[in-house]
Amino acid sequence: MKANYGYMDGSGEFYITINTDICIECGDHPCLNACPAKLFEIIIDDYDDEVATIKEDHRKKIKYDCGDCKPVSDRPPLPCVTSCTAGAISHSW
């Protein structure tokens, strides 16, 4: 299942998507420490699996919280995406 965290407003869609089917296979969840804004947390889902999610208090301001990793030009690879060796994390913008 793909879980989308974020929002849509007049300026665009701002979502971080986590593929939970892939995420449950990860043992150490490097995304927790890779994100400078500490957006990620691990929860136990409805199937008793550990999966990454975006903390509730960051979901409505994700565009701004991710801003340090997303400069307007010459954008480097995103730390959360590159740390996820399984490829479970993506961004919509």
Domain containing residue 36: 2-91
The Cα–Cα gap between 7 and 51 comes to: 20
pLDDT of residue 17: 98
- Indicate the average pLDDT of the chain: 95
Confidence band for 26, pLDDT divided at 50, 70 and 90: confident
**Nearest by Cα to 52 from 88, 87, 82, 81:** 88
In this prediction, residues 15-43 reach a mean pLDDT of 94
In this prediction, residues 55-68 reach a mean pLDDT of 96
In single-letter form, the type of residue at position 84 comes to C
pLDDT of residue 12: 96
Number of domain units in the chain: 1
* pTM exceeds cut of 0.85: yes
The Cα–Cα gap between 84 and 9 comes to: 28
pLDDT of residue 27: 81
SS3 44: strand
Please list, in sequence order, all residues whose beta carbon lies within 8 angstroms of the beta carbon of residue 43, skipping any fewer than 6 positions away: 50, 51, 53
